[in-house]
Structure 1
């Protein structure tokens, strides 16, 4: 019965247009605004500008590529301080980005393919909240784009690394 109820709710929400995932994909203005914001955010990191962290919501989360990297904004800022102080943070350049939004455009999500300076191709997804003063990042998740053909080799390297004694 619970599955039937959930399926009915899903069908109803889709038929009423509450799913709304395609809104931003067809809204060129919002897509341009989101692209400018996220590209600017990446540029802040590339140039080690601390404004980078101001674009993350106070309750925002950043998930990095290491399994230990689940950061709140302030913890992420503290961890990254050494990179920003050295004027040598990370460089991400989006080569493709898809943008989606809720029907009222207050919540936007995106996925992107990235060229990176130090880790090769990567993928990321993020969630933005639209506020009176602009966008803020509430969630961002970064991952390395590992080709399926070498996935087994990478998994083997990770397994060997995890067997090493912890320092």
Structure 2
């Protein structure tokens, strides 16, 4: 009898852990994520500092287009505050977005093409559902470079990249 109860408890535990959320509507969750990201970009365009940063998780990371731009939320807030205070942050308009879900539907990742003052950029990130709210955990902004122009970009970046690599390399050696 004891063995039967133990086996039943183990089977119950396993079945609960492998279950997908029965009531999760992935179409609706995609709409919710699109709304969060569209509003996030709109808040930057309208210099809504509070709205912009409330969309980000407290432990989020933002990676910008410059190799030195790797910020946690507090660092990114500090960097961004002067732009928002002047009433002119940035205006990124989504052109296309793909969203993918982890099995349990609580974590999603996305990539998007954006129309920006820099031309077409790519954003990608991770977003997690906390309670009923989606929060941006990680975001990477990058420039798109046509393959036919890559040689020109390499030449432009060569000196700066060389200096940056030396700095990073010397930090690695000391640590």
Shared topology, TM-score over 0.5? Answer: yes
Write the deviation string for residues 78-117 of structure 1: whole angstroms up to 9, x where unpaired: 011110000100111111100011111110110001101x
Give the equivalent residue in structure 1 for 2:87: 87
Deviation at 1:33, TM superposition (A): 1.1
Q: Higher relative contact order at CA 8 Å, sep ≥6: structure 1 or structure 2?
A: 1
Give the equivalent residue in structure 2 for 1:44: 43
User: How far apart, in 1, do the equivalents of 2:52 and 2:29 lie?
Assistant: 21
Write the deviation string for residues 122-142 of structure 1: whole angstroms up to 9, x where unpaired: 001010010114011100000
Give the equivalent residue in structure 2 for 1:71: 71
1:156 aligns with 2:152: no
Give the equivalent residue in structure 2 for 1:57: 57
1:134 aligns with 2:144: no
User: How far apart, in 1, do the equivalents of 2:72 and 2:26 lie?
Assistant: 31
User: How far apart, in 2, do the equivalents of 1:55 and 1:27 lie?
Assistant: 20
Give the equivalent residue in structure 2 for 1:5: none
TM-score by length of 1: 0.79
Contact 2:26 2:105 (8 Å CA) reproduced: no
Deviation at 1:161, TM superposition (A): 4.7
Q: Which runs of 5+ in 2 are unaligned?
A: 1-17, 164-175
Q: Give aligned pairs, total.
A: 141
Query: After TM superposition, which residue ranges in structure 1, 4 or more long, deviate above 4 angstroms?
Result: 160-164
User: How far apart, in 1, do the equivalents of 2:153 and 2:54 lie?
Assistant: 35
Deviation at 1:27, TM superposition (A): 3.1
Structure with bigger gyration radius:
2
Give the equivalent residue in structure 2 for 1:6: none
